[in-house]
């Protein structure tokens, strides 16, 4: 069975990535927004776009990506804490996006795309946006919940686990930790002490809630 028409070619992918890179550099030249074409480590080495932006330019960049570049899906948001990092990068938010050739389909209708015939903004593309934040006790980045619906849950999850605040988010609350967790508790912040476990302890010791004499000093 042929897969003709179901896979974007490497040439399409490369051309689309270079077009996106040129558009980003043209629109945000001199603003501190830096873009590059990267490649996945899989066999086909498909290209994707990596963008690093200061937080003060994030919402302007996000709106432009959504409405001018056609980036229509937020797939994931993650946050990282670097307590021993430099002053300008104690935290980092990473957004992951997809551009897909989809539309709001009318009932009882359908649209068929032939992948190898797609061009311009219809060519699927992945985007990774990195936002470094200052090394302080109150990391804040503007929300993009109002631009991508998919950012809503992902921003909640990142705040809940890492403690990065998404300024302007309309319904921020805990989604993974208990709702009555202490204020300021975000388990993936690096200052929390975590016990080491071996395989048997994970079953014998309920993950460390009942400490044993042998546990003394086994924290990192």
Task: Name every residue whose Cβ is closer than 8 Å to that of residue 84 and which is 6 or more positions away in sequence.
Answer: none
pLDDT recorded at residue 203: 42
Lowest mean pLDDT among 53-62, 129-138, 204-213: 204-213
Is the separation of the CB atoms in 67 and 79 below 8 Å?
A: no
DSSP notation for 107-120: TT------GGG--G
pLDDT recorded at residue 162: 94
Regarding pTM above 0.85, the answer is: no
- Tokens coding 79: 């946050």
% residues pLDDT > 90 (the chain): 62
Mean pLDDT for 63-75 is 96
Side-chain half-sphere exposure of 100, counting CA atoms within 13 A: 9
Of residues 103 and 157, more confidently modeled: 157
Mean pLDDT over all residues of the chain? 86
- Tokens coding 123: 């060519």
Task: Name every residue whose Cβ is closer than 8 Å to that of residue 15 and which is 6 or more positions away in sequence.
Answer: 119, 123
Which domains, ranges and CATH numbers included, belong to the chain? 10-177 (3.30.460.80), 190-220 (no CATH)
């Amino acid at each position: 069975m042929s897969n003709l028409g179901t896979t974007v070619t490497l040439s399409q992918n490369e051309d689309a990535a270079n077009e996106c890179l040129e558009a980003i550099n043209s629109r945000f030249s001199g603003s501190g927004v830096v873009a590059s074409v990267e490649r996945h480590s899989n066999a086909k080495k498909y290209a994707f776009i990596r963008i690093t932006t200061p937080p003060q330019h994030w919402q302007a960049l996000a709106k432009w990506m959504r409405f001018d570049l056609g980036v229509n899906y937020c797939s994931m948001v993650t946050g990282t804490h670097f307590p021993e990092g430099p002053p300008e990068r104690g935290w980092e938010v990473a957004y992951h996006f997809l551009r897909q050739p989809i539309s709001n389909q009318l009932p009882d209708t359908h649209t068929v795309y032939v992948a190898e015939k797609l061009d311009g903004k219809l060519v699927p593309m992945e985007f990774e946006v990195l936002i470094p934040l200052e090394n302080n006790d109150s990391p804040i980045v503007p929300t993009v919940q109002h631009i991508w619906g998919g950012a809503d849950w992902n921003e909640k999850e990142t705040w809940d686990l890492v403690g990065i605040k998404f300024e302007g988010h309309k319904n921020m609350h805990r989604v993974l930790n208990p709702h009555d967790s202490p204020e300021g508790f975000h388990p993936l912040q690096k200052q929390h002490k975590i016990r080491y476990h071996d395989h048997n302890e994970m079953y014998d010791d309920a993950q460390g809630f009942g400490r044993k004499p042998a546990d003394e000093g086994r924290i990192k």
